[in-house]
């Protein structure tokens, strides 16, 4: 039943919202991984980010796990069920536990199972179209799994359509720019800096009007 509900949610509800309410332009869609393990690393301005990325993966969606904060998405019974069974989130603790547990252990296990992670290097949602400082989690994953591609994805417009703290969806055309995968083994130096350079390059591919 949950599998059917998940299909209905993404194929009927999410896809309808994206195509009819928002409008979406995807550049270099062919760079999206066809199989795992892989990491989709995207900027984070809205809850729509995860929905759009999941929808782009199509039939591969069953192998995609959005990495999400356990304290936010597992707050109550309904949200826990919806997050785990419908969205398929991979919950992690934002802070290292007192017993010294590894917050990224579950991510590593998922990659070893051949899954595709959606990872937001900035951590929490930020201001629309402003790249915040990248945290170290994605670099640690790249170091532990140097042959797993980290695919940079820059989105524009989703933070304006549904910004942080808002519940009303505003029709606003969105763009998605998919970059070439970057592996930890490809980088001789600072992985975060190399990844951010990829994001800056993707952002420059678009020509956007200034925000009001």
The string of pLDDT tens digits covering residues 6-53 is 888 888 898 888 888 888 899 999 999 999 999 999 998 888 899 999
Contacts of 144 (CB under 8 A, 6+ apart): 104, 108
Enter the tokens of residue 110. Answer: 């998922």
Query: What distance in Å separates the CA atoms of residue 41 and residue 21, rounded to the nearest whole number?
Result: 25
Does the domain formed by 2-204 have CATH 3.40.1130.10?
yes
Output phi, psi for 183, to 5 deg.
Answer: -100, 150
Residue with structure tokens 């800056």? 200
Reading phi first (left if > 0) and then psi (alpha if -120 to 50, else beta), residue 131 is in beta
pTM for the whole thing? Answer: 0.89
Q: Domains of the chain: which residue ranges? A: 2-204
Query: What distance in Å separates the CA atoms of residue 14 and residue 48, rounded to the nearest whole number?
Result: 9
pLDDT tens sequence across 66-113: 998 887 778 889 989 988 999 999 998 866 555 667 889 999 999 999
Q: Which helix (H) or strand (E) holds 155?
A: strand 150-156
């Amino acid at each position: 039943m949950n599998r059917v509900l998940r299909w209905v949610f993404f194929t009927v509800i999410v896809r309808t919202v994206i195509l009819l309410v928002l409008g979406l332009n995807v550049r270099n869609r062919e760079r999206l991984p066809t199989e795992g393990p892989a990491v989709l690393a995207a900027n984070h301005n809205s809850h729509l980010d995860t929905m759009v990325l999941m929808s782009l993966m199509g039939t591969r969606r069953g192998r995609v796990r959005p990495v999400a904060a356990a304290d936010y998405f597992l707050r109550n019974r309904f949200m826990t069920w919806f997050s785990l069974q419908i969205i398929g989130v991979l919950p992690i603790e934002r802070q290292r536990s007192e017993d010294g547990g590894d917050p990224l252990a579950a991510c590593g296990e998922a990659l070893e199972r051949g899954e595709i992670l959606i990872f937001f290097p900035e951590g929490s949602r930020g201001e629309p179209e402003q790249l915040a400082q990248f945290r170290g989690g994605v670099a640690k994953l790249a170091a532990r799994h140097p042959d797993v591609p980290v695919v940079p994805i820059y989105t524009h417009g989703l933070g304006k359509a549904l910004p942080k703290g808002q519940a009303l969806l505003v029709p606003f055309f969105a763009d998605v720019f998919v970059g070439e995968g970057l592996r930890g083994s490809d980088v001789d130096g600072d992985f975060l800096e190399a990844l951010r350079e990829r994001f800056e390059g993707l952002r420059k591919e678009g020509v956007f009007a200034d925000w009001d």
